[in-house]
């Protein structure tokens, strides 16, 4: 029994590890007329005024600021002092339930499930392994009742709009959207930001699928 439990636990552990290291995929659409970086400055503000001054918004704004700085733009202390104003919005919905159906299996006489057929011969003729307590679904009535599982799928989104301070004309509009089993913004927003700024500013009018690899913990 111990050997059986260990053999089952190992694949389950591998599945759990794989779930933790699943890449994050987002669909990113960008429309842009971004000026080449020549000392322009930027200021980041929320689309929702209620988020202004909040620590959560500041955390995500710092991620966007770090990305823009890497591309050669400089952060400003206020919108009035900035060449460009970046308006940011992020959200995750309440989720939708999804149902998955997979084949079920019959239980054997001892509670085991055999996927093998091992006939043997004795003085009474040919016998099969389930005669000794094993049940084989392939040779006795199929897989059994289907197994039905449900889970919730969430849609998260990051919207960025960059406009010139002088006349308010937009130079960049981007949207990154993803579906996941997780609704934690603290995990989703950093991934959406990274997807948004992959190959920034991108080809105008093009929607691409961006894959963000899991971050290494150390």
| Residue 97 binned pLDDT confidence (cut-offs 50, 70, 90) | confident
Distance CA 76, CA 61 (A): 13
Q: Please indicate, yes or no, whether the overall pTM of this predicted structure exceeds 0.75.
A: no
Helix H or strand E encompassing 69: helix 55-70
pLDDT at 107: 47
The number of C-alpha atoms within 13 Å of 92 and in the hemisphere containing its C-beta is 18
Q: Is the pLDDT of residue 3 over 50?
A: no
* Predicted pLDDT at 96: 86
The whole-chain average pLDDT of the chain stands at 78
* DSSP assigned state of 199: T
Q: How confident is the model at residue 122 (pLDDT cuts 50, 70, 90)?
A: low
Domains of the chain in start order, with CATH, are 25-93+154-212 (3.30.160.670), 104-145 (no CATH)
Please compute the mean of the pLDDT values over residues 84-113 and round it to a whole number. Answer: 74
Q: In whole angstroms, what is the distance from residue 37 CA to residue 23 CA? A: 31
């Amino acid at each position: 029994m111990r050997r059986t439990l260990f053999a089952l636990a190992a694949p389950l552990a591998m599945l759990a590890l794989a779930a933790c290291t699943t890449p994050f995929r987002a669909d990113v659409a960008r429309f842009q007329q971004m000026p080449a970086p020549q000392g322009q400055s930027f200021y980041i503000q929320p689309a929702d005024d209620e988020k202004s001054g909040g620590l959560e918004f500041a955390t995500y704004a710092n991620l966007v600021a770090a990305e823009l700085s890497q591309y050669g733009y400089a952060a400003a202390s206020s919108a009035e002092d900035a060449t460009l104003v970046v308006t940011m919005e992020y959200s995750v919905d309440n989720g939708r339930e999804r149902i998955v159906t997979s084949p079920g299996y019959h239980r054997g006489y001892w509670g085991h499930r055999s996927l093998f057929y091992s006939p043997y011969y004795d003085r009474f003729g040919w016998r099969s392994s389930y005669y000794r307590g094993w049940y084989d679904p392939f040779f006795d009535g199929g897989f059994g009742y289907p197994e039905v599982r449900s889970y919730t799928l969430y849609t998260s989104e990051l919207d960025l709009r960059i406009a010139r301070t002088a006349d308010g004309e937009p130079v960049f509009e981007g949207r990154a959207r993803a579906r996941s089993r997780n609704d934690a913004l603290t995990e989703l927003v950093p991934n959406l930001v990274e997807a948004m700024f992959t190959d920034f500013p991108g080809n105008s009018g093009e929607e691409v699928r961006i894959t963000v690899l899991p971050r290494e913990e150390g």
